[in-house]
Chains A and B, each alone.
Chain A
Amino acid sequence: MPIDKFTTLESTYVPLPVENVDTDQIIPARFLKATSRDGFGENLFRDWRYTSDGKENPDFVLNQSEYSGEILVGGKNFGSGSSREHAAWAIHDYGFKVVVSSFFADIFQNNALNNGVLPVMVSPEFLSNIFDAVQENKEQKIVVDLENQSISLNGKSESFDINPYKKNCLLNGFDDIDFLLARKEKIEAFEANN
């Protein structure tokens, strides 16, 4: 599946200052029964977003209209737990293009990148500035520039790491399968030698 191209994004953001947000919170297992990739956004953070009788939980940030935007900002160790790519699909389907945290779980990071969602890892100080700034001004924006690998808030910037290969994929909307398919001969040669 070709992914969306990503270059720069300037957007308001949704703060979720909770550590260790695991993939069971992002999308609970009982919503993994689909056979397509679509529609998972509806159940993003299901059990935090809705009460047990199905009503919107007014205390949860996705139900607070003053917070919006294409950037989700989470606490340390975002995306731990299960390998379910449905977590990345749900975040993408809801409309987020970037997730910011001070630390990401491995598999989630891969899954996000494979779906055109950019995980941006910032320092703990920068993260706490992001959380503070939005309390003062709900219209606060973040600028994420992939080409220059920088994230800015209120004139302060920080650079972030991304594998050069993955960066190129995102900038151009390439996916890994095309890359691998172009190497079929090498793969067959490897098989013949092993």
Chain B
Amino acid sequence: MEPKTLFDKVWDAHVVEKIEGGPSVFYIDKHLIHEVTSPQAFSGLEARGMKVFRPENTIATPDHNIPTENQHLTIKDELSRKQVETLTANCEKNNITLYGLNHPYNGIVHVVGPELGHTQPGMTLVCGDSHTSTHGAFGAVAFGIGTSEVEMVLATQCILQPKPKKMRITIDGELQKGVTAKDLTLYVIAQLGTGGATGYFVEYAGSAVSSLSMEGRMTVCNMSIEMGARGGMIAPDQTTFDYVEGREFAPKGEDWTKALAKWKELKTDEGAKFDKEYVYKASDIEPMLTYGTNPGMGIGISGSIPTAKDVDPTELPTFKKSLDYMGFGLGDKLLGKKVDYVFVGSCTNGRIEDLRMLAVAVKGKKKADSVTAWIVPGSKQVEKQAIEEGLVEILEEAGFKMRQPGCSACLAMNDDKIPAGKYSVSTSNRNFEGRQGPGARTMLASPLTAAAAAITGVVSDPRELF
């Protein structure tokens, strides 16, 4: 039998029909929906006079558009409220499980799925959100889709997809102290660029990856889309099984034993072929920070922004436009640059481990008065755990306040907007122009680097502080 990659194994097992010269009819095990990209899919379905085909395979949670304060009150913004109410109505009408606002399981869709055990190895999982790649950390084939495709899944539990090419990114060795999963992924994206993995599905491998926790693996897979990849995945191992076991919606008893036996087969066979391979050394990675307006524009924190001679001349105008937006110059050093806002949260870094990392770093220190810090847990469960573990107390003593869960300042759909011209060190996933609010200037970083900026008020190296 020809050796197969992990991706081939999961993909091939979900092809209902291969269309000659076209895409495959591809079966979806788990469908996650939220308030922003689903309403038009439901109305499309209604216009056809149809109901949801397999409502038990879809789970809903509002996250993008919700306030992160006073969630017990009616949502003030009329349009946001209407979107959230529309999601509720659509779920009720179609018998879909909804973790609505104030439900103990509410949260960012990509935090909720894994923590409740909905996300499992070997699954196919989609959501109308590009960071669905997060779930690949469990050895699932997971990717973001558009609203027309959301409608397809609601109608038939399938979408039409051509099979992407395969890429493996291997990172061997040990990450230095103060270097996190976020730095690893920002490093890889800086190497490949924002379009470097377009058309590919990525498998992350190597000792630096397998020694990551599940939270760290989710951070890495989450950012796959930022280099254009359809998705990213990591072969499940004991770390994965230990994480999944016992979670509410994970298989139990005999079902668990059966599932585990299947999941243990989910790895790339010796000699399996990839269309592209990259190998990096973990020891080359330092804490990373972005300086521009796409996630590929990242450098090690001690480095300098490229100068004109380092940039492809045809791309120089766009490069300069980006630096102008950021208020930075060619060749500038980032260390010491002023920081106005710090955001810790999002589907990239809003999990319990991220809050632990932050709390350990700032314990016994004080937030700089000049910095506004928004700490936003990824879910109600994360919030609860952070309180139980005493993290909130530590954060409060250091001058930080934890808000309520949601996507928040990652995309600034709600009121959590960074003002124009202000600098934000953010643990989220995108530094596009205006992403955190019109005119906001975002530098992407790890929770540790964000903590360092919050304490000092300037870009600082977490290795020297903590």
Residues of A within 8 A of B (CB): 1, 17-20, 22, 24-25, 28-30, 32-37, 47, 52, 75-77, 80-86, 88, 103-107, 110-111, 114-115, 124, 163-166, 175-177, 179-181, 183-184, 186-187, 190-191, 194
Separation of A76 and B434 alpha carbons in the complex (Å): 20
Write the nearest CB–CB distance from A12 to chain B, whole angstroms. 23
Contact B148 A85 (CB under 8 A): yes
- Measured between beta carbons, the chain B residues less than 8 angstroms from A88 are 146
Given contacts A20-B294, A77-B195, A165-B21, is CB(A35)–CB(B83) below 8 Å?
yes
B40, B148, B157: the one contacting A175 at CB < 8 Å is: B148
B16, B82, B160, B195: the one contacting A179 at CB < 8 Å is: B160
Write the nearest CB–CB distance from A116 to chain B, whole angstroms. 11
Separation of A18 and B318 alpha carbons in the complex (Å): 6
- Measured between beta carbons, the chain A residues less than 8 angstroms from B156 are 177, 180-181, 183-184, 187
6 inter-chain pairs at a CB distance below 8 angstroms, sorted by A residue, are: A20-B294, A33-B413, A81-B225, A107-B145, A114-B149, A177-B152
- Measured between beta carbons, the chain B residues less than 8 angstroms from A84 are 36-37, 146
- Measured between beta carbons, the chain B residues less than 8 angstroms from A86 are 147
Task: State which residues 380-427 of B face A: CB under 8 Å.
Answer: 411-413, 420
- Measured between beta carbons, the chain A residues less than 8 angstroms from B435 are 24, 29
- Measured between beta carbons, the chain B residues less than 8 angstroms from A105 are 195, 198, 228
Separation of A1 and B155 alpha carbons in the complex (Å): 13
Contact B130 A107 (CB under 8 A): yes
Smallest Cβ-Cβ distance to B164: which chain A residue: A106
- Measured between beta carbons, the chain A residues less than 8 angstroms from B318 are 18-20, 75
Smallest Cβ-Cβ distance to A176: which chain B residue: B160
- Measured between beta carbons, the chain A residues less than 8 angstroms from B413 are 29-30, 32-33
Tell me which of B80, B156, B439 has the highest count of chain A C-beta atoms within 10 A of its own C-beta: B156
Is B258's CB within 8 Å of the partner chain A? no
- Measured between beta carbons, the chain B residues less than 8 angstroms from A184 are 156
Smallest Cβ-Cβ distance to A179: which chain B residue: B160
Residues of B within 8 A of A (CB): 13, 16-17, 19, 21-23, 25, 27, 36-37, 39-40, 43-44, 47-48, 64-65, 77, 79-80, 82-83, 86, 128-130, 132, 144-149, 151-152, 155-160, 162, 164, 194-195, 198-199, 225, 228, 230, 294, 314-315, 317-318, 321, 411-413, 420, 430, 432-435, 438-439
A1, A80, A110, A165: the one contacting B146 at CB < 8 Å is: A110
Separation of A181 and B198 alpha carbons in the complex (Å): 29
Smallest Cβ-Cβ distance to B434: which chain A residue: A47
Separation of A49 and B7 alpha carbons in the complex (Å): 42
Contact B130 A22 (CB under 8 A): no
Contact B432 A165 (CB under 8 A): no
Given contacts A29-B411, A110-B149, A187-B27, is CB(A164)–CB(B157) below 8 Å?
no
Given contacts A35-B39, A35-B40, A106-B198, is CB(A47)–CB(B412) below 8 Å?
no
Write the nearest CB–CB distance from B207 to chain A, whole angstroms. 30
Smallest Cβ-Cβ distance to A30: which chain B residue: B413
Contact B411 A183 (CB under 8 A): no
Write the nearest CB–CB distance from B251 to chain A, whole angstroms. 15
Contact A186 B198 (CB under 8 A): no
Given contacts A35-B39, A180-B152, A186-B16, is CB(A22)–CB(B294) below 8 Å?
yes
Contact A163 B162 (CB under 8 A): yes
Given contacts A165-B23, A177-B152, is CB(A80)–CB(B48) below 8 Å?
no
Contact B160 A111 (CB under 8 A): no
Separation of A175 and B47 alpha carbons in the complex (Å): 14
B27, B147, B151, B420: the one contacting A52 at CB < 8 Å is: B420
- Measured between beta carbons, the chain A residues less than 8 angstroms from B411 are 24, 29, 82
- Measured between beta carbons, the chain B residues less than 8 angstroms from A1 are 44, 47, 148
Separation of A163 and B178 alpha carbons in the complex (Å): 46
Contact A47 B37 (CB under 8 A): no
B48, B146, B162: the one contacting A85 at CB < 8 Å is: B146
